[in-house]
C-alpha cells in the first residue's frame, strides 16, 4: 500500500506547486484539502489548479457541490478517504494538499463528530448576525467560562459550540490528542511572515488581474453571500462591498484583500505548528527562488519514500 503524503501549509506557501512536482515524480494523484475548493465556480478566489494542471495530474475533492449546498468536515473526511482508496487501487500515490487545517486533521488523525441540527444552527447564526457575539458568549459563559474565553476571538467556533450546547445541554470538550495515522507522512510548509506577506500581495494582484471581481459578481448574484457554508470563502464578501460601493477604489480593495489574507495565513501558521504532531515543518526563512526551494524539498521527500513511492513515466 502506498504511503499517503500530506503537503500542508498556509495560503501562498507554495504547497500546490510542490504537490504537483511530487505527483509528477512519484506517479501521484492529488487530493485537495481546501474547504472552499469543493464548490463549483469558486475558482479564482480559491486558487484552484488550472485546467492544464488538472489534465496532467488527476485532482480529487474539487468541484463537488454547488455554492447553495452545505458542506462540512464530516463530508470531506468521507470524500477524501474514498479518493485515497481509489488512488491506491490504481497503484498510485495519494498526495493530500491544502491549507484547511481542520479538514487535514480529520483525515490524518481522525475526528469525533459532534451532533448538528440545521434549525438550531440557523437560529444561532441569525442571533449572531443580528446581535453580534456578546449574547452567545454570555450563554456559553454560564455553562463553561473557560470555553467561552477560548471562543471569544473565534466567532465561527463560538457559534458551533453554542449550537452543540443547545442540542446536548453540555459544552463540547476539546478533541483528545490523537496519534497521526501510520500510513501517512506529513510535511508542512511555513514561510516567514515577511516572505508570506510578499507572496500574498503578489497573489492578490494576480487573482484580481485574472478576473476575480467578475467571478465574484456572478457568484454573488447566484446567492453566494447567503449560502449556508460557501459564503465563508475568503475575499468574496469584500468584493461584494466593492461592487456595492462601500469600498471606493481598486487599490483599497486590493489592500483589504491582502490584509484579510495575511490574517488568515497567520491563523493557519498557528494551527499547523500546534495541531499536527509528528509532521515535519519545512520553514522558508528567506525569499529565494521558489522553484529552487521546491525542487530541493521534492528531492528530499522523494529520497524518504523510495520503497512506497516508485517513480513513474506518467499517468496511467
Domain 4-112+180-304 has CATH 3.40.50.300: yes
Give the pLDDT confidence of 292-307 residue by residue, as tens digits: 666 767 777 767 654 4
**Beta-ladder partners of 28:** 93
pTM, two decimals, is 0.82
What number is the average pLDDT over the span 223-233?
94
CB–CB of 284/259 below 8 Å? no
What confidence category does residue 309 fall into, taking pLDDT thresholds of 50, 70 and 90? very low
What number is the average pLDDT over the span 45-68?
98
Give the domain ranges of the chain.
Answer: 4-112+180-304, 118-168
What number is the average pLDDT over the span 309-315?
40
What number is the average pLDDT over the span 81-85?
97
**CA-based R_g, the chain, Å:** 20
What confidence category does residue 310 fall into, taking pLDDT thresholds of 50, 70 and 90? very low
Does pLDDT of 210 surpass 80? yes
Does pLDDT of 152 surpass 60? yes
What number is the average pLDDT over the span 33-48?
98
CA–CA distance, 23 with 204 (Å, rounded to integer): 26
Amino acid at each position: 500500500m502506498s504511503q499517503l503524503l500530506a503537503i500542508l501549509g498556509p495560503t501562498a506557501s507554495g504547497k500546490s506547486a510542490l504537490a504537483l512536482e511530487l505527483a509528477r515524480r512519484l506517479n501521484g494523484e492529488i487530493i485537495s484539502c481546501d474547504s472552499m475548493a469543493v464548490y463549483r465556480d469558486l475558482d479564482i478566489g480559491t486558487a484552484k489548479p488550472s485546467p492544464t494542471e488538472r489534465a496532467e495530474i488527476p485532482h480529487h475533492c474539487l468541484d463537488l457541490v454547488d455554492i447553495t449546498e452545505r458542506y462540512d468536515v464530516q463530508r470531506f473526511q468521507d470524500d477524501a478517504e474514498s479518493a485515497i482508496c481509489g488512488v491506491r487501487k490504481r497503484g498510485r500515490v495519494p498526495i493530500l494538499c491544502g491549507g484547511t487545517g481542520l479538514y487535514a486533521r480529520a483525515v490524518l488523525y481522525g475526528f469525533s463528530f459532534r451532533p448538528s441540527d440545521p434549525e438550531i444552527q440557523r437560529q444561532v447564526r441569525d442571533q449572531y448576525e443580528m446581535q453580534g457575539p456578546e449574547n452567545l458568549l454570555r450563554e456559553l459563559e454560564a455553562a463553561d467560562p473557560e470555553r467561552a474565553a477560548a471562543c471569544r476571538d473565534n466567532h465561527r467556533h463560538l457559534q458551533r459550540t453554542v449550537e452543540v450546547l443547545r442540542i446536548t445541554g453540555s459544552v463540547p470538550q476539546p478533541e483528545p490528542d490523537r496519534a497521526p495515522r501510520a500510513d501517512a507522512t506529513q510535511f508542512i510548509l511555513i514561510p516567514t511572515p515577511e516572505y508570506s506577506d510578499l507572496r500574498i500581495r503578489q497573489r492578490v494582484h494576480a487573482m484580481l488581474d485574472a478576473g476575480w471581481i467578475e467571478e465574484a459578481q456572478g457568484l454573488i448574484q447566484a446567492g453566494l453571500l447567503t449560502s449556508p457554508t460557501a459564503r465563508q470563502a475568503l475575499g468574496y464578501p469584500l468584493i461584494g462591498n466593492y461592487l456595492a460601493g462601500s469600498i471606493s477604489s481598486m487599490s483599497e480593495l486590493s489592500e483589504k484583500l491582502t490584509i484579510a489574507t495575511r490574517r488568515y495565513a497567520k491563523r493557519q501558521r498557528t494551527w499547523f505548528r500546534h495541531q499536527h504532531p509528528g509532521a515535519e515543518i519545512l520553514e522558508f526563512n528567506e525569499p529565494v527562488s521558489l522553484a529552487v526551494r521546491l525542487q530541493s524539498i521534492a528531492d528530499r521527500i522523494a529520497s524518504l519514500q523510495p520503497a512506497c513511492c516508485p517513480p513513474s513515466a506518467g499517468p496511467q
